[in-house]
Amino acid sequence: MSDEARKPKVVVVMPAYNAGRTLRMTYEELPKDTVSMVILVDDGSTDATLDIARQLGLEIFVHNRNYGYGANQKTCYAEALRAGADIVVMVHPDYQYDPRLVPQIIEPILRGEADVVLGSRLKTGSALRQGMPWWKYVPNRLLTAVENWVFGLRLSEYHTGYRAFRREVLETVNFGANADGFVFDQEIIAQVVATRFRIAEIAVPTRYFPEASSAGFVASTIYGLRILAVLFWYTLHRRGLRRSRRFDSLRARYTRLP
């Protein structure tokens, strides 16, 4: 079978931490005719997450303690690449994002129109009606405006946890150099922009309920400040004022080796 005729291997990665109450619901709604493999990385959960993951027959990788959301994603992407993924989709196992939309989120990649696709909660303007707290909505709008200005893009939001990546993106950006915390999400977007990959977005409905993970006000404020720091260092890198290997292409770096 030729490469053109081969069906792309779509690997869903789930960065999990105490997701025992929602993991089964999330997995059961994944479109199995689209998804080739599901990888769950457990980041030191203390609930039944691992037991349920084993019952579901997922490919499981376990951190011996809670290293953080960014560290979890690093393992997710490394293992997905090792498993031969052509497209990697991050689906949070807390059931906040609709797992049934995997075919839609990978479609721009399959059509050759994008390298990264974000599932935006704000593209339709209904996030507040869906339950997003106002104190998250307002900073989200302000930070997105700043990010669009810095990156030269016109996206509706950057702070979604529903993302799809073409394999080449994860092989090119230096995601291993990113933080182990939540700001990893914005660091990898800055890397994608710096290496000139194309970003698209689709609208996704979002659920807000007690079992869904949600950072508090103080944590969200710290997160916002760290995003501004990422934008500051990215701007210095782009203007050549202070180069950072974090934003360089790994492929370009390897080609310069003797």
CB 213 within 8 A of CB 207: no
Q: What is the pLDDT of residue 40?
A: 98
- For the cut 80, the answer to whether the pLDDT of residue 179 exceeds it is yes
Q: What is the pLDDT of residue 140?
A: 81
Two tokens, residue 116: 């990264």
d(CA 221, CA 217): 6
The CATH number fitting domain 10-244, selected from 2.120.10.30, 3.90.550.10, 2.60.40.1220, 3.40.50.12780 = 3.90.550.10
The structure's pTM equals: 0.90
Q: How confident is the model at residue 55 (pLDDT cuts 50, 70, 90)?
A: very high
Out of 70-74, 134-138, 202-206, pick the least confident: 134-138
- Taking each continuous run of H as one helix and of E as one strand, the counts in the chain are 9, 7
Domain boundaries, the chain: 10-244
Residue bearing the bigger pLDDT, 7 or 24 = 24
- For the cut 90, the answer to whether the pLDDT of residue 207 exceeds it is no
Q: What is the pLDDT of residue 123?
A: 81
Q: What is the pLDDT of residue 254?
A: 43
Taken as a whole, the chain contains a residue count of 258
Residue bearing the bigger pLDDT, 130 or 233 = 233
Which residues, in sequence order, are CB contacts of 91 under 8 Å at separation 6+? 12, 13, 14, 26, 30, 97, 99, 102, 162
CB 187 within 8 A of CB 230: yes
